[in-house]
Amino acid sequence: MCADRRRLMRAPHERGTMYATTPEREQLVADIKHAGFYPDLVLEVVDDALAGMNPDAHFVQHETHFSRDDFHRHITVMVLCGEHVIFAHLDDQHLEGDAQGTVAHVSVEAVHLSALNAVTISYGFSQPQAYNAGSTAPTEISFQIAWTGSLHVELAPAGCQDPQCNADHGYTGDARREDIAVRVSATADGPESVQRAQHFARALHRARMYATRR
């Protein structure tokens, strides 16, 4: 359970800066600022999602994807708090024809631990023959979180095999359950990122196991 359920009391000029009351909250603030991707906006979004509750564990992932003509950045913040896990995602979009035009898209979801279908954790170890229990850290970790409720729907206009056909065939597409998949490696992200991802994944797994057996 969260150590403190009190709502944050902030003056108007303090908005946008998460009030740090515990070491875990302070580290969450530091990780969001370190990512450097619209930190004030991300802090405000996560702060509102926490609703005054202190985090028990968290993980922040900032990624950049390159295409031929552009690059895209996004950040995902996952926070375990009591019987819920909060997912906050932000990405930006550069508007065509406007060099200064950028739009940020933000989504937030709070999921009860009982709604999680699975928390799957996979580890990678370099030189497993030299493994020492308690001292050998994984070189990479992947975890996937699947839950019920939300559906991701992708639709596109349906067609037929006749290239001359102009009839309306409706739409086709697929719907799948939303989930989160994260992969962190020591080579690409650094050993500390692997350690932070492992800490969050294990904390979430333990919390889910406890919530489902009650």
pLDDT tens for each residue of 135-173: 899 999 999 999 865 555 555 677 777 878 877 767 676
Residue identified by tokens 């295409």 is 67
Q: How are the residues of the chain apportioned to helix, strand and coil, as percentages rounded to the nearest 5?
A: 30, 40, 30
Where does the pLDDT of residue 11 fall: very low under 50, low under 70, confident under 90, or very high at 90 and above?
very low
Residue 7, pLDDT > 60, answer no
- Residues 44-97 have pLDDT tens digits of 999 999 998 899 999 999 987 666 666 678 899 999 999 999 999 998 877 665
Q: What is the pLDDT at residue 122?
A: 97
- 75 touches 92 (CB < 8 A): no
Residue identified by tokens 């998949």 is 181
d(CA 165, CA 160): 7
d(CA 104, CA 44): 14
Where does the pLDDT of residue 175 fall: very low under 50, low under 70, confident under 90, or very high at 90 and above?
low
Q: What is the average pLDDT score of the chain?
A: 82
Pairing state between β 71-81 and 102-112: unpaired
Q: What is the pLDDT at residue 134?
A: 86
Nearest to 73 by CA among 29, 30, 42, 111: 42
**What is the percentage of the chain residues whose pLDDT exceeds 70?**
75
User: Is the full-model pTM beyond 0.85?
Assistant: no
Q: Beta-carbon neighbour count of residue 15 at 10 Å?
A: 14
Q: What is the pLDDT at residue 109?
A: 92
- 3-state SS assignment for residue 164: coil
CA angle 80, 81, 84 (to 5 degrees): 80
